[in-house]
Amino acid sequence: MQELSENRRFGDDAYNRRGVLKRRHYERELARLQVELVKLQRCVREEGRRLVVLFEGRDAAGKGGVIKRITEKTNPRIVRTVALGTPSDRERTQWYFQRYVAHLPAAGEMVLFDRSWYNRAGVERVMGFASAEEVEYFLQTCPEFEHMLVSEGIQLLKYWFSVSEAEQERRFRARVKDPAKRWKMSPMDLESRARWAEYSHAKDEMFARTDTEYAPWRMVDSDIKRHARLNCIADLLGSVPYSDEPPAAIELPPRQWVQDEVDRAPMHSGVLVERRY
C-alpha cells in the first residue's frame, strides 16, 4: 500500500484506518477536478491545442477507471478515447506507428490512448507477438517518433500505472467472482498473471530507452484506486495551462407552448415500455 504524502490535500480524519480516502471526500474532490477538466476542455477547443495522453501499465492497474472519470463530464467530440484492438492482417504490414497516427488529434482535440504504441515493448514482446528485432527497432525509433510529435506542437503526456503483484492478484480474483466484471478477464490477462517477472523486465528496459526530457514517463501508484484517479487527474490538470474561468452561465429563454401540442391526444399505450420499476 502506498504511503500518504506529507503534501496530501486532506487531513488525517479524511482517511480510514487503512489509509484510504473516505468515499465522501473522494467523490467531492473528483467532482471538483471534473469541473477543472471541463475548463481545460474549453481551452483545448478555443485555442486549437492538440493533446495526447497515454495510459499504460499492467493489467488491472486501473487505467480504464481513470479514463472513465476523465471523460465522464467532458465532450466526446473534444476529449475522445482510443482503445485499439488486435491489428488486422493489413495493419500488420503497415509501418508500426501508422495505425496510431490515424488517431492523433486535430486542432482543438484531446486524445486519450488506453494502451498505445508501447504495446510493442510490453505485451507484444512478452507474449512473442513481435520478434526481438522488431522490439529493438521500436525502442530505437520510438523516441524519434515522439520527438516528431512534440516538435509538431502536440503535447504528449505518458502515464504508467504501477500496481503491486499482490494487489493485481486481488483485483483478478474479484473479477472472477463478479459476473458483471468477468468480461474483463481475457486469456491475455491470465497469461500476464503468470509472466509477472517478464513484464517487469520489459517495463524496466522500456523506461530506460523511452524516458526522455521532451516526453518523460509519469509514474502513478495505483494500489489504491481512488488515490490513483485523483493524483493522475490532478497531475494532468497541472501539466496543461488553461484558463480558470468557469463556463459562462446560461439563462434559458421562456418556454413557448404551441396550442397544437397542448391539445395532443395521450400517447398510445402500445409504444410504452413496461413499467417494471
Q: Which helix (H) or strand (E) holds 46?
A: helix 23-46
**Predicted local distance difference test score (pLDDT) of residue 259:** 62
- pLDDT on residue 249: 85
Residue-wise pLDDT tens digits, 195-206: 999 999 999 999
More confident residue, 248 or 209: 209
- State pLDDT tens for residues 1-59: 344 455 678 888 999 999 999 999 999 999 999 999 999 999 999 999 999 999 999 99
pLDDT at 272: 79
Supply the mean pLDDT for the chain. Answer: 92
Q: What is the DSSP letter of 81?
A: E
CATH of domain 12-271: 3.40.50.300
Task: Judge contact between 157 and 105, C-beta under 8 A.
Answer: no
Q: pLDDT confidence of 261, banded at 50, 70, 90?
A: low
The owner of cell 474549453 is 42
pLDDT of residue 187: 82
DSSP 8-class letter at 118: G
Domain residue limits, the chain: 12-271
Task: Report helix, strand or coil for 57.
Answer: strand
What single-letter DSSP state applies at residue 273?
P
**pLDDT confidence band for 260 (50 / 70 / 90):** low
What local confidence, expressed as pLDDT, does residue 248 receive? 78
* pLDDT exceeds cutoff 60 at 176: yes
Mean pLDDT across 80-106: 97
Helix or strand run (H / E) with residue 229: helix 225-239
CB 83 within 8 A of CB 119: no
DSSP state of 274: P
Confidence at 274, pLDDT banded by 50, 70, 90: confident
| DSSP β-bridge partners for residue 160 | 56, 219
* Nearest CA-CA partner of 81 in 62, 101, 55, 59: 55
